[in-house]
Homo-oligomer: A and B are copies of this chain.
Amino acid sequence: MPASYAYLGPEGTFTEVALRTLPEAATRELIPYVSVQSALDAVRTGEAEAAFVPIENSVEGGITATLDELVAGEPLMIYREVLLSITFALLVRPGTALSDIKTVTAHPAAQPQVRNWLRANLPDATWESAASNADGARLVQEGRYDAAFAGEFAAARYGLEPLEIGIHDAENAQTRFVLVGRPARPAAPTGADKTSVVLWQRDDHPGGLRDLLGEFATRGINLMLLQSRPTGAGIGNYCFCIDAEGHISDRRVAEALTGLKRICLQVRFLGSYPRADVKPGDVEPLLPGTSDDEFAAAADWVARCQDGRF
């Protein structure tokens, strides 16, 4: 398998910074791709071992381009997640003052995160969208715009200076990235894991979605993401991308997935992997009756009843 990771480029973006926080990234060639689709296609074709792409952020919610790629096509699996706090620096050519700035640029996704700052500090500046935050910085370097919102780490690469750092409208602005590969055995459970699945309902009736969620709820499994995505069969037809606490090797999760598989039209397993937001020791305690030991003891009891030994 090629020792390379595809990632959503270009170089010098938050995605690359997030990717480099993974120890395994140090031993791979990191190759930027122009889109989430092309990065994931590189995995599907075997061109890359894995792809690293954003999947959720605290301003936009689930990133639909990524979810739609995972929902359809050849199955892929998530192996790791990374959370990165997103704050912007305002990058300018050396010598530029705040009062000199007439035009600002960045990727459109940055706009909702700097809107308030702009209104307060540069109310008259004109916004111009760039293909990426890194590309915006390059355009400032070239003199096309006066300032770019980008990660502070991008300044050096483009010969710019941060005029202001730590810009973010929303507290706790974060983006979640995932490392995606071809299906294989999931990473071993750590005690603080997350499982991602996609669910398609068998039919649409009152209580249908409630019953799907009940498969998690009755086993004490908390949900961390529920994002509906159109199935392509017309308005109102959705599948559901769900992130749930726990690992598929946890019995409560395995049994919930078994239940979903029975009652759903289709279930796609997208992986079980360590949570980036909490350490194993800090996970909320399980509800009574939902631990592996309790599942095992109960299954053992049923087996003994089936044999008449109790």
Binding site for B on A (CB under 8 A): 56-62, 64, 75, 77, 83, 170-176, 183-186, 202, 204-207, 209-211, 213-230, 232-238, 240, 248-249, 254-255, 257-259, 261-263, 267, 269, 277, 287-290, 294-295, 297-299, 301-302, 305-310
Given contacts A58-B230, A59-B232, A206-B220, list 4 more A-B pairs with CB under 8 A. A58-B235, A172-B234, A226-B228, A258-B301
User: Across the interface, do B307 and A289 meet the contact criterion of CB distance under 8 Å?
Assistant: no
User: Across the interface, do B228 and A206 meet the contact criterion of CB distance under 8 Å?
Assistant: no
C-alpha gap A175/B230 in the complex (Å):
12
- Minimal Cβ-Cβ distance residue in B for A247: B306
Q: Which of B172, B210, B297 contacts A210 (CB 8 A)?
A: B210
A115 nearest CB across to chain B (Å) = 10
A-B contact pairs, 12 of them (CB 8 A): A57-B230, A58-B232, A58-B237, A206-B216, A206-B223, A207-B213, A213-B213, A228-B228, A248-B302, A258-B298, A258-B302, A267-B301
Instruction: Give the dominant DSSP class at A's interface.
Output: mixed
User: Across the interface, do A56 and B222 meet the contact criterion of CB distance under 8 Å?
Assistant: no
User: Across the interface, do B259 and A83 meet the contact criterion of CB distance under 8 Å?
Assistant: no
What is the oligomeric copy number? Answer: 4
Q: Which of B183, B227, B288, B306 contacts A263 (CB 8 A)?
A: B288
C-alpha gap A156/B195 in the complex (Å):
52
User: Across the interface, do B225 and A262 meet the contact criterion of CB distance under 8 Å?
Assistant: no
Residues of chain B within 8 A (CB-CB) of A206 are 216-217, 219-223, 287
Residues of chain B within 8 A (CB-CB) of A56 are 235
Residues of chain B within 8 A (CB-CB) of A240 are 226
Residues of chain B within 8 A (CB-CB) of A211 are 218
A309 nearest CB across to chain B (Å) = 7
Q: Which of B216, B219, B233, B288 contacts A202 (CB 8 A)?
A: B288
Residues of chain B within 8 A (CB-CB) of A186 are 305-306, 308
Residues of chain B within 8 A (CB-CB) of A238 are 61, 225-226
Q: Which of B224, B228, B249, B259 contacts A298 (CB 8 A)?
A: B259
C-alpha gap A144/B219 in the complex (Å):
59
Q: A207-B217, A230-B60, A302-B258 in contact; A185/B235 too (CB < 8 A)?
A: no
Q: A206-B216, A214-B210, A299-B258 in contact; A308/B249 too (CB < 8 A)?
A: no
A284 nearest CB across to chain B (Å) = 9
A203 nearest CB across to chain B (Å) = 9
A280 nearest CB across to chain B (Å) = 18
- Minimal Cβ-Cβ distance residue in B for A290: B262
